[in-house]
Structure 1
Amino acid sequence: MSTVLARPVAHRIRAYVRLAKLDIFDYYLSLLVVWSLLAPAVRWQPRTLAVLLVLLAGQVCVAAAMVTFDDVTGYRDGSDAANYGPDAPARRLARKPLLAGTLTEPEAIRFGWLTAAAGTALWALAVAVAPHHPLWTVLVAALCLASSVQYSWGVKLSYRGGQEVFLAGLGIGWVLAPYGLLAGTPGGFVAVQAVLFGLGPLLFGVWSNTNDIAGDAAVGRITVAARVSARGNAAFIAAVTVGEMLLIVLAPAFGAPWWFPLVLLPVVLARIGQLVTGLGRGDILAARRLGIRAHRLTVALLVLANLVAAWV
């Protein structure tokens, strides 16, 4: 009897894990970048590690709330049904528990508000125990929290033309705010890395939007891909990609070591490959996958560059 009862509980837990998209960890990598930017004497201090751990837990909760409300809204307006149609593979459809029928809408909404509240409490705790408390960090953290919850809920930023700005802005904020709490006001080099990190989610998000044009357009979700021509969307993606490359090349003008662009050269090559795959060959989903890998490569190389810069 206990086995029979435990099985549905296990299924529900897996459904909540899928609802929270815990396998998508790319935004959480911001804290690795922040940790590597800290002075060597600060990185391993118990207080530093404790603040980073609390920030990470808060990020996970805030992101879970964001994607949960996004799924609820997509379920309500039919965009998820259009983008994850009946011919979608079962594994892909399972990532949408509302569509798959493994969770109800009220259960998802309760989960969204619970994780939003937990994220708020954890970030407040991080601010309280952090060694620095500049006002701007609190404002940036609050903006990240509010915009995450309102991404597809309430104001629905992603439906009103704010999606692309949000995708990059959240990543930027999740580097700058933790750094400010742990080290104070950032310099130009830190700002450059924050922008490079923020561009990562944007440069795989735009390919998701390109794949979801029909579903987004049908429900009035304003994305660049859904509102401009195919040529205009291609030009936008290319412009953002080239902008990232230029930032890498020009980073020494903002305080980066002269060798920084050489370390990030693999990212430039990966972005070129992404453009060739997506725009040249028309393989949108492959370009998205390459974008995820390029973002993770960027994080690894930023961490490497920061660790080396501390000793040269």
Structure 2
Amino acid sequence: MTTRTEAGPFPSGTARPESKLRSYARLGKLDVYDYYPSVAVALSAVLLPVSGLRPTTIVTLTLFLFGAVCVVVAMVALDDVTGYRDGSDAANYGPDDPLRNKLRKPLVAGTLTLREALGFAWATAAAGAVLWAAAVAIAPHPPTWTVVLVVVLFVVSVQYSYGLKISYHGFQEIFLAGLGAALVMGAYGLAAGHFSGFVLVQGVLFGFGPLLFGVYSNTNDIPGDRAVGRRTVACLVSPKGNALFIGSLCAAEFLTGAVASATGIAPWWFVFLMLPVTALRVRQFLTGFRQGDIMRARKLGFPAHRAGTVLLITANLIVGAGATG
């Protein structure tokens, strides 16, 4: 397999299909914003009573949000760099897969060079580090565990597919869920100044969202990932084993809320509030593994995650309203 070091030029007389700005936005996957509402979940947990909300809390969460955008953008840009170099993106977005839009991978499409992509990735990573450092500095009473979490989160994120290549060595699925949970807990810890078991449960449920469209992508990408040695669960097990794994994740998502409600970590009604997400997961799973439409199942994961996020925010507002009533 041939590795690649630089995006090729456009053929003579061929116009660039889109602007550099649009290509950078594609490289940073700015249209896939599903990690960023983690800050809204954290905010909803400290919002009520509004009279007790400090201006510094809003500033802290704003800085954390912009930092999260920069860090995630850097992470996915570096993922594209690695995918371009090892050829997996060319395989997964090539002519044999007409359902994947090649322009979503600017290096494969040739709309950005490797040098441009690396410069963009490291510039956004640096911006993310500065913004998160500012958020920690401004937070009134940041707990030590939160500061450590934010530092670890930054270091690990840029190693997702670059450097240590966490996603290549069997940890991708854990990372996808852990990133979501850590973003919720990091934002909450800075804003609230203490730990909450209920918010941790929400963080885990939030992390299931990106995980449960990521595993469908992995199912589609098995040939390209296997060719470069990317050890996702989809690559390591049989098709039946992969379906069982994804089904188990759906069950684990439901059980997380159910156990939290049963043990008092969450209100008794929390499990019932989250049932619409479970229904959407059943539909997603059947679409992927009964109807055999993996990419449509992946697409269904986005509204499921976004609905779940709205429900998590709703739960926090209900709890907050009850505490002030």
TM-score range relative to shorter protein? over 0.9
In structure 2, what is the Cα distance between the partners aligned to 1:23 and 1:142?
A: 26
2:94 is aligned with what amino acid?
A: G
1:25 is aligned with what amino acid?
A: Y
What is the aligned partner in structure 1 of residue 293 from structure 2? 283
Cα distance, 1:91 vs. partner? 8.1
1:12-41 alpha-carbon deviations (Å, 9 max, x no partner)? 111111111111100001011001111513
What is the aligned partner in structure 2 of residue 75 from structure 1? 84
Cα distance, 1:238 vs. partner? 0.9
Matched, 1:205 2:214: yes
1:152 is aligned with what amino acid?
A: S
In structure 1, what is the Cα distance between the partners aligned to 2:284 and 2:99?
A: 27
CA contact under 8 A between 1:144 and 1:173: conserved in structure 2?
yes
What is the aligned partner in structure 2 of residue 47 from structure 1? 56
1:121-162 alpha-carbon deviations (Å, 9 max, x no partner)? 100000000122211111111121111100111100011111
In structure 2, what is the Cα distance between the partners aligned to 1:150 and 1:188?
A: 28
Matched, 1:295 2:295: no
Matched, 1:257 2:267: yes
CA contact under 8 A between 2:46 and 2:53: conserved in structure 1?
no
SS, match of residue 140 in structure 1: helix
Matched, 1:186 2:195: yes
In structure 2, what is the Cα distance between the partners aligned to 1:61 and 1:291?
A: 23
In structure 2, what is the Cα distance between the partners aligned to 1:204 and 1:86?
A: 23
1:205-250 alpha-carbon deviations (Å, 9 max, x no partner)? 0000000000000000010001111111111111111011111222
SS, match of residue 120 in structure 2: helix
Matched, 1:128 2:113: no
CA contact under 8 A between 2:83 and 2:89: conserved in structure 1?
yes
Unaligned runs of 5+ in 2: 1-14
1:48-89 alpha-carbon deviations (Å, 9 max, x no partner)? 221111111101110111011100110010000000003555
What is the aligned partner in structure 2 of residue 139 from structure 1? 148
In structure 2, what is the Cα distance between the partners aligned to 1:15 and 1:90?
A: 19
In structure 1, what is the Cα distance between the partners aligned to 2:161 and 2:237?
A: 21
2:68 is aligned with what amino acid?
A: Q
What is the aligned partner in structure 2 of residue 163 from structure 1? 172
Matched, 1:174 2:183: yes
Whichever structure has more helix as a proportion of its residues is 1
Identify the range of structure 1 (162-171 vs 244-253) with the bigger mean alpha-carbon deviation: 244-253
Q: TM-score, with normalisation over the residues of structure 2?
A: 0.90
Matched, 1:225 2:234: yes
In structure 2, what is the Cα distance between the partners aligned to 1:273 and 1:211?
A: 18
In structure 2, what is the Cα distance between the partners aligned to 1:92 and 1:26?
A: 20
2:184 is aligned with what amino acid?
A: V
CA contact under 8 A between 2:93 and 2:100: conserved in structure 1?
no
What is the aligned partner in structure 2 of residue 304 from structure 1? 314
CA contact under 8 A between 2:47 and 2:53: conserved in structure 1?
no
What is the aligned partner in structure 2 of residue 29 from structure 1? 37
Cα distance, 1:186 vs. partner? 2.0
1:77-121 alpha-carbon deviations (Å, 9 max, x no partner)? 000000000355598111111111111001111111111111001
What is the aligned partner in structure 2 of residue 243 from structure 1? 252
What is the aligned partner in structure 2 of residue 272 from structure 1? 282
What is the aligned partner in structure 1 of residue 68 from structure 2? 59
Cα distance, 1:44 vs. partner? 5.0
In structure 2, what is the Cα distance between the partners aligned to 1:95 and 1:311?
A: 43
Cα distance, 1:185 vs. partner? 2.2
Seq. identity, %: 55
2:190 is aligned with what amino acid?
A: L
Unaligned runs of 5+ in 1: 1-6
List 4+ stretches of structure 1 deviating above 4 A: 87-91
RMSD: 1.7
Identify the range of structure 1 (42-51 vs 121-130) with the bigger mean alpha-carbon deviation: 42-51
What is the aligned partner in structure 1 of residue 159 from structure 2? 150
